[in-house]
Structure 1
């Protein structure tokens, strides 16, 4: 896939790790020698003011609109 197409598909969108977890927003798509990576940000828990960031493999995430709902009830 071309990087421009990936940027259109992912930047500004909400994604989930395929293994579960917190919803994340994709900030940018970059090309590395190991393939395409997504720079993502999220807030770890409700009420937290600390923004977390990570660079993730494209294959490890899915768009939230395609992912099953992962709502936790407390």
Structure 2
């Protein structure tokens, strides 16, 4: 199952990412407003696909842009 996690570098997002990886049943796409250089500091970085994105960006097809995930865990906010 492919899961998209928004806000992956946030306080809660980091815990969710680590738990999804621990369960070892998911293809994970992580996204955050933080740059790749910031995301590199997280333990999970090399185990997922990371896409730096501001969800305010005008993405024409959100579903396709994020590689057609089966599930979404939305943790991004300002």
Q: TM-score, normalised by structure 1?
A: 0.25
Bigger share in strand: 1
Q: TM-score, normalised by structure 2?
A: 0.24
Structure of higher RCO (CA pairs closer than 8 Å, 6+ residues apart): 2
